[in-house]
């Protein structure tokens, strides 16, 4: 299968190499001075990459996605699957889907994890008319146990919307953990706070979620005061307390609703 990969950076390079290793003809394009993955033919222009391609995989930065689609559109072959792996917002994916849909089957592909850790086996969510085609391309790159490609019954933007919902938790959690560990280091208690974080993340996840939802509303006033005191303690340690102060504001809001 002839595949064009636009963007050969951290994620694009991984997918291009995996597709080439699986026996696909892979043409890659990236204007940046970065290495060409093994087995990939580097093209000087975007047009050369997408010409007669059965699949076009876009793995650039999200800001470049509309411009890349506009440049690719006149050169897409009939029946091609155009898969956007960028983190463009759901409304952008919707616009791209409508524009590209005139010439190709568009797929909104959400990457649900760090590519440096999982490589091309990172879990994916896919939506749009080209979603099944993306699944057919990616699933054979590993065993059924290794490759997770979930196809959503939804339009372009549906996959990215779920990714952004997940990011509320994942990126927020990562920021809270960074703040807590920094405070633990400053207080000479890093080992202890790491153990406490690990303990809270283990066990029955749904029970923990319910406990957080119920407890935060029931005890909002008391916990807001505790977080104010916590922020003052972090100030004394010289540790930034953005997440702690955000938690205090959230608890104040919840207390006003009760």
Predicted pLDDT at 202 = 87
Which residue spans within 44-135 are E strands per DSSP? 55-58, 81-84, 105-111, 124-127
pLDDT surpassing 80 at residue 258? no
Query: Could you tell me the pLDDT band of residue 51, with boundaries at 50, 70 and 90?
Result: very high
Region 74-85: mean pLDDT is: 94
Query: For the range 62-66, what are the long-range contacts, defined as Cβ-Cβ under 8 Å and sequence gap of 24 or more?
Result: 62/86, 62/87, 62/88, 62/89, 62/92, 64/7, 65/92, 65/96, 66/92, 66/95, 66/96
- Give the pLDDT confidence of 60-79 residue by residue, as tens digits: 999 999 999 999 999 998 88
Percent of the chain predicted with pLDDT > 90: 93
pLDDT surpassing 80 at residue 117? yes
Average pLDDT score over the chain = 95
Number of H helices, E strands in the chain: 11, 8
Question: DSSP assignment of 76-100, as one string?
Answer: PPTT-EEEE-S---HHHHHHHHHHH
Predicted pLDDT at 150 = 97
- Give the pLDDT confidence of 182-214 residue by residue, as tens digits: 999 999 999 999 999 999 888 888 999 999 999
Question: What does pTM read for this prediction?
Answer: 0.89
What is the spatial order of strands in the sheet that 55-58 belongs to?
40-42, 25-29, 2-6, 55-58, 81-84, 105-111, 124-127, 149-151
Region 219-244: mean pLDDT is: 97
- The CB density around residue 155, as the number of other CB atoms within 10 Å, is 19
CA-nearest of 62, 138, 58, 67 to 106 is 58
Q: 55-58 and 81-84: which strand pairing? A: parallel
Region 2-23: mean pLDDT is: 97
- Give the pLDDT confidence of 97-113 residue by residue, as tens digits: 999 998 999 999 999 99
Percent of the chain predicted with pLDDT > 70: 100
**Torsional sign, CA 9, 11, 28, 35:** positive
Rounded to whole angstroms, the Cα distance separating 181 from 197 reads 9
CA-nearest of 78, 29, 86 to 59 is 86
Predicted pLDDT at 102 = 85
């Amino acid at each position: 299968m002839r595949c064009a990969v636009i963007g050969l950076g951290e994620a694009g390079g991984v997918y291009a190499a995996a597709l080439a290793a699986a026996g696909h003809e892979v043409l890659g394009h990236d204007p940046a001075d970065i290495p060409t993955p093994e087995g990939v033919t580097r093209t000087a222009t975007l047009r050369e990459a997408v010409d007669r391609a059965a699949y076009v995989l876009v793995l650039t930065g999200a800001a470049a996605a509309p411009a890349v689609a506009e440049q690719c559109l006149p050169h897409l072959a009939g029946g091609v699957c155009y898969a956007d792996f960028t983190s463009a917002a759901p409304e952008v994916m919707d616009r791209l889907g409508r524009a590209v849909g005139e010439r190709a089957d568009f797929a909104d592909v959400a990457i649900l994890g760090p590519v440096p850790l999982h490589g091309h086996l990172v879990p994916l969510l896919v939506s749009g008319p080209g979603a099944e085609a993306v699944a057919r391309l990616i699933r054979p790159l590993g065993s059924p146990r290794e490759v997770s490609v979930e196809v959503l019954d939804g339009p372009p933007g549906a996959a990215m919307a779920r990714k952004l919902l997940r990011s509320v938790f994942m990126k927020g959690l990562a920021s809270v953990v960074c703040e807590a560990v920094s405070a633990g280091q400053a207080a000479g208690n890093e080992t202890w706070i790491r153990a406490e974080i690990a303990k809270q993340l283990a066990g029955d996840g749904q029970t923990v979620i319910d406990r957080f939802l119920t407890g935060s509303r029931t005890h909002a006033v008391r916990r807001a005061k505790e977080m104010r005191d916590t922020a003052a303690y972090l100030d004394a340690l010289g540790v930034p307390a953005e997440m702690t102060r955000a938690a205090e504001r959230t608890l104040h809001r919840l207390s006003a609703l009760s």
